[in-house]
């Protein structure tokens, strides 16, 4: 993956809609499972919901009722999303620097620093020609990589004299961020505070493992943006988004009930924690069905779900 502009990441950015806080009752396609939750964000494939407990879950639109799907496509939802689309977020670096911006996507790139014509260049652009905010970030990034501190351009230029004709190449991994002025920059993970990393980093390994799968990478970037939006709205919101699967729900009558099986990725499996709603006669049968359908995952718990 490549960063675009000075530090940006070149990834296809799909439209994400953000909804105001509004609790409603969501239902599985066959109506056997219902969930009261607030809609946080949605795109063409997923809707992210916040339970009353603050936990975040992502559900595939195709697994929800026709009424729910119509609501997401409705003018009410679209208008609400457009109204809040310009909301910005505040992010904090490890040393306390505040950045106002909206996270867009995951990505990685090589940052090339070299000395040409007596001046330090960043990716073939003279450092002095870069805008001030980018300069501040670059000083911190290069300082981190070189295990030193650069307070200003003068100190960077002094250090640059030691490079000779050999460029320094730093491999960076992080997120693309849109600033209030409309510019986009790339911010490496190591720049963020521990609290912010807890929001941004959970889907990174899955994004990385699916390097050739654009659809999976777009999904993980969307979920990262959704977690960021929810956290900025409500600091008490649980930060990691769990997948909620409703596709194994059949008819729940008589001795057949609905069971919620919690799954976590096993060793060597990259994925998100997942809750699967299953119709079964008992918890043992529900556990077996879940394990058959999600190889490599470990059952974390099984409980009878209210309908």
What are 172's two structure tokens?
């960076």
Distance in angstroms between the alpha carbons of the first and the last residue of the chain: 44
In terms of domains, do 77 and 115 share one? no
Per-residue confidence (pLDDT) for residue 87, from 0 to 100: 73
CATH number where 75 lies: 2.30.30.700
In terms of domains, do 79 and 117 share one? no
**3-class secondary structure, 106:** strand
User: Does 4 fall in a domain?
Assistant: no
In terms of domains, do 79 and 221 share one? yes
Query: pTM for the full model?
Result: 0.77
Q: How far apart are CA 193 and CA 42, in angstroms?
A: 27
In terms of domains, do 112 and 133 share one? yes
Number of domains in the chain: 3
The H or E element that residue 258 is part of is strand 257-265
User: Does 222 fall in a domain?
Assistant: yes
Per-residue confidence (pLDDT) for residue 9, from 0 to 100: 38
In terms of domains, do 81 and 220 share one? yes
Between strands 241-248 and 56-60, the pairing is: parallel
User: Does 78 fall in a domain?
Assistant: yes
- For residue 32, the tally of other CB atoms under 10 A from its CB is 20
- For residue 58, the tally of other CB atoms under 10 A from its CB is 24
Q: How far apart are CA 108 and CA 172, in angstroms?
A: 5
User: Does 3 fall in a domain?
Assistant: no
Per-residue confidence (pLDDT) for residue 238, from 0 to 100: 60
Contacts of 37 (CB under 8 A, 6+ apart): 23, 24, 26, 49, 50, 51, 52, 57
180 and 88 in contact (C-beta within 8 Å)? Answer: yes
181 and 101 in contact (C-beta within 8 Å)? Answer: no
Q: How far apart are CA 51 and CA 236, in angstroms?
A: 12
pLDDT in tens, 37-78: 988 888 889 999 999 888 899 999 999 999 999 999 888 877
In terms of domains, do 28 and 63 share one? yes
Look up residue 250 and give its DSSP letter: -
What are 49's two structure tokens?
């919901």
Look up residue 119 and give its DSSP letter: E
In SS3 terms, 196-228 reads as HHHHHCCCHHHHHHCCCCHHHHHHHHHHHHHHH
Residue 29's DSSP bridge partners are none
CATH number where 296 lies: 3.10.20
Q: How far apart are CA 38 and CA 54, in angstroms?
A: 10
User: Does 183 fall in a domain?
Assistant: yes
Q: How far apart are CA 5 and CA 124, in angstroms?
A: 11
Q: Which residues of the chain have pLDDT under 50?
A: 1-16, 20-21
In terms of domains, do 124 and 166 share one? yes
- For residue 230, the tally of other CB atoms under 10 A from its CB is 26
In terms of domains, do 34 and 109 share one? no
In terms of domains, do 171 and 93 share one? yes
In terms of domains, do 81 and 218 share one? yes
User: Does 230 fall in a domain?
Assistant: yes
In terms of domains, do 58 and 93 share one? no
User: Does 200 fall in a domain?
Assistant: no
Task: Write the DSSP assignment of 14-46 as a string of letters.
Answer: ---EE--S-EEEEEBTTSS-EEEEEEEEE-SSE
User: Does 207 fall in a domain?
Assistant: no
Structural domain span for residue 39: 17-85+214-242
Q: Which residues of 231-264 are buried (b: 16+ CB within 10 A; e: fewer)?
A: bbbeeebbbebbbbbbebbeebeeeebbbbbbbe
In terms of domains, do 218 and 81 share one? yes
Per-residue confidence (pLDDT) for residue 180, from 0 to 100: 78
């Amino acid at each position: 993956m490549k960063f675009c502009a000075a530090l940006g990441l070149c990834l296809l950015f799909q439209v994400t809609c953000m909804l105001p806080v509004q609790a409603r009752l969501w239902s599985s396609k066959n109506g056997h499972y219902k969930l009261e939750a607030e809609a946080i964000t949605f795109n063409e494939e997923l809707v992210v919901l916040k339970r009353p407990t603050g936990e975040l879950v992502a559900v595939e639109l195709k697994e929800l009722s026709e009424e729910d799907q119509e609501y997401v496509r409705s003018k009410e939802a679209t208008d609400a999303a457009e109204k809040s689309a310009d909301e910005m977020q505040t992010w904090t670096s490890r040393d306390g620097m505040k950045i106002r911006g909206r996270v867009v996507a995951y990505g990685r790139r090589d940052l090339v620093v070299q000395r040409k014509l007596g001046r330090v260049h960043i990716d073939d652009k003279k450092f002095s020609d870069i805008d001030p905010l980018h300069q501040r970030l670059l000083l911190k990034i290069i300082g981190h990589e070189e295990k030193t501190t650069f307070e200003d351009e003068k100190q960077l230029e002094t250090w640059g004299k030691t490079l000779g004709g050999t460029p320094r190449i730093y491999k960076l991994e992080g997120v693309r961020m849109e600033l209030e002025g409309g510019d986009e920059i790339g911010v490496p993970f190591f720049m963020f505070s521990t609290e912010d990393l807890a929001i941004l980093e959970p889907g990174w390994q899955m994004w990385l493992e699916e390097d050739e799968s654009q659809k999976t990478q777009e999904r993980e970037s969307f979920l990262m943006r959704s977690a960021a939006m929810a956290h900025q709205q409500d600091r008490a919101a649980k930060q990691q988004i769990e997948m909620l699967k409703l596709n194994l729900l059949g008819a729940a009558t008589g001795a057949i009930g609905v069971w919620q099986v919690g799954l976590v990725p096993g060793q060597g499996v990259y994925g998100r924690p997942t809750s699967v709603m299953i119709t079964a006669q008992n918890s043992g049968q529900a556990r077996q069905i879940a394990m058959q359908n999600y190889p490599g995952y470990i059952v974390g718990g099984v409980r009878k779900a209210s309908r």
